[in-house]
Amino acid sequence: MDESTVLQLICTALRRFIDPMFARYLTVERLDVPLVTKAQITANQNDYAIGNGSAFRVSSDASRNVTGITGGFGGKLLIIINVGAQSIVLQNQNTGSAAANRIITGTGADYTLATLKTVMLIYDATTTRWNLFGQ
């Protein structure tokens, strides 16, 4: 999947969550989100240090669990694209990570990010958790 295709998918997903009056202005040309390719995940991750940025290409050598993500602050948006051949499981409220790094999937169950799928999370400063809101 090339970068322009990924950016188009991101725009399409974001349009579902914003006011329709403004959605028409959200285009790939206006979306300046560099994609950061992360090193392959080779073990389950507690307090995953995803790094600076908002859009990440991730992969794993086997099905791996992510129990939390570091670096959250109120309103921070993360777009995670699984570019590998293995699933990555975002675990719901798992105590393996510090409370402020945990993920709320919205279903109470873990969320499996399948290969070539994208998920979006936003950090809520009130609950001090990452909230999955787009898939």
- Look up the CATH number of the domain holding residue 116: 2.60.120
pLDDT number for residue 112 = 97
- Domain span holding position 50: 33-134
The verdict on residue 13 lying in a domain is no
Alpha-helix runs per DSSP H in the chain: 3-15, 20-23
CB 61 within 8 A of CB 40: yes
Q: What is the mean pLDDT of residues 111-119?
A: 94
Q: 0.85 cut: is pTM over it?
A: no
The verdict on residue 115 lying in a domain is yes
Can you say how many angstroms the Cα of residue 37 is from the centroid of all Cα atoms in its chain?
13
Question: Number of folded domains in the chain?
Answer: 1
Contacts of 110 (CB under 8 A, 6+ apart): 65, 89, 90, 91, 92
